[in-house]
């Protein structure tokens, strides 16, 4: 009888340790997910951006800067006023609309946790992600599906990989993402985002503060099948003056 009681006690201890470990591992990501969900309706009132174009040897050849002041319209759209060099937002608009996609975004189709560890006092999670390209424009996941190998019926880590850093307060503080896009033609981008906590209308939210988007894409030159123009770029953005816009499509 005593052996049975002892065995039951040991099993309970083992189970509690297992549950504690599970909660400890996934707790920070769970609360970071909740914070991102709560911030979905926030839009930056100001986006300041600088663009650098490089030649094939990595030498800077052109630099541009621009700002976008954004506000809410009476429809489900955001209105904005641009100043500076139009080339900056012409390029950014071909990649995304300023909303930084994370693995916790509701329109993500699926993700696979590939690694978890501690680094510099933060919890680090790495994900392979399956998503539709339209999520970069706050829409549902339609169109080209990235991050999934149809032949293998498994995640394709070469297409979408994301690493997030979550602090001791379970707040997302940094994200590093690499994406092999199909639109524009053959674009490869790396997007690193730093997040901050802001208070809007008395509520706290987790939002991007600085975003760096780098990459290279190839565009067919006119009607030629043999000549492609290569664009190597780096864009640094700061985002501020956030406001809540419940009607913004997403």
pLDDT at 139: 65
What digits encode the pLDDT tens for the residues 131-176? 998 888 876 666 688 999 888 889 987 899 999 999 999 999 999 9
Residue 148 CA to residue 155 CA, distance in Å, equals 5
pLDDT at 187: 79
pLDDT at 5 over 70: no
pLDDT at 11 over 50: no
pLDDT at 81 over 60: yes
Q: Give the SS3 label for residue 19.
A: helix
Cβ within 8 Å of residue 71, ≥6 positions away: 45, 78, 79, 80, 243
Enumerate the β-bridge partners of residue 213: 191, 235
Query: How many CB atoms are located within 10 Å of the residue 57 CB?
Result: 7
The stretches of 39-116 forming alpha helices (DSSP H) are 86-93
Mean residue pLDDT across the chain: 84
Report the percent of the chain where pLDDT is more than 70.
Answer: 84
Provide mean pLDDT across the span 50-79: 91
pLDDT at 23 over 50: no
What digits encode the pLDDT tens for the residues 83-112? 999 999 999 998 999 999 999 988 899 999
pLDDT at 7 over 60: no
pLDDT at 75 over 90: no
Q: Which of 233, 215, 190 is nearest to 60 (CA)?
A: 233
pLDDT at 183: 67
What digits encode the pLDDT tens for the residues 175-214? 999 998 876 666 789 999 999 999 999 999 999 999 999 9
């Amino acid at each position: 009888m005593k052996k049975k009681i002892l065995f039951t006690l040991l099993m309970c201890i083992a189970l509690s340790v297992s549950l504690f470990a599970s909660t400890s591992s996934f707790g920070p990501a769970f609360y970071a997910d909740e914070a991102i969900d709560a911030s979905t309706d926030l839009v930056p009132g100001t986006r300041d951006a600088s663009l650098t174009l490089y030649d094939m040897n990595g030498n800077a050849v052109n630099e541009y800067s621009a700002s976008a002041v954004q506000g809410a319209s009476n429809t489900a759209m955001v209105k904005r006023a641009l100043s500076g060099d139009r080339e900056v937002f012409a390029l950014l608009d071909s990649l995304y609309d300023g909303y930084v996609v994370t693995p916790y975004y509701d329109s993500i189709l699926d993700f696979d946790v590939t690694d978890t560890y501690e680094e510099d006092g933060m919890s680090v999670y790495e994900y392979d992600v399956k998503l539709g390209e339209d999520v970069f424009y706050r829409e549902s996941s339609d169109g080209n599906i990235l991050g999934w190998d149809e032949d293998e019926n498994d995640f394709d880590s070469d297409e979408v990989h994301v690493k997030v850093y979550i602090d001791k307060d379970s707040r997302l503080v940094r994200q590093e993402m690499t994406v092999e896009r199909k639109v524009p033609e053959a674009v490869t981008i790396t997007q690193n985002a730093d997040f901050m906590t802001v208070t809007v209308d008395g509520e706290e939210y987790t939002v991007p503060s600085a975003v760096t988007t780098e990459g290279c894409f190839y565009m067919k030159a006119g009607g030629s099948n043999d000549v492609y123009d290569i664009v190597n770029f780096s864009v640094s953005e700061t985002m501020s003056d956030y406001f809540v816009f419940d009607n913004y499509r997403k």
